[in-house]
Structure 1
Amino acid sequence: MADELEAAMIASAEEVLAEARELLAEAVVGEQELRIAGTRLAESLGDTLRIAVSRGGRLESEG
């Protein structure tokens, strides 16, 4: 179950990153759009870091 949750979180982060890149490629972007994108990127980065720490802990306990 943990692996499925991690996979879903990583897929979500990939989607957020793709959307942010598209937004930043636009010539004119509103402040609110940038704030929303930044917030979503920060949330995704936090999730991804939790996954990395969790996996690192599991690897250390196995080794």
Structure 2
Amino acid sequence: MLRDGLVDEVGLLVAPVADGAVGTPSLFHVDGVGPGHTQEHSAHRLALDAVERRAGDVLWPRYRVEPRVERR
């Protein structure tokens, strides 16, 4: 949906916990992109609009999706 321009805002909930487990899924995944792959992709810059502190020291940042930036 992000790649197709259907997302204009990204909101996250950040909890004060460090996991670091191997194989933990990433927030954004692009199939066929990375070491050993030749497919190119475009990155999206996110501009911080707001941050709210919630119960339990959880942070809720909200980002506006900026136009694509071509990666080389």
TM-score, normalised relative to structure 1: 0.27
* Greater relative CO, 1 or 2 (CA 8 Å, sep 6+): 1
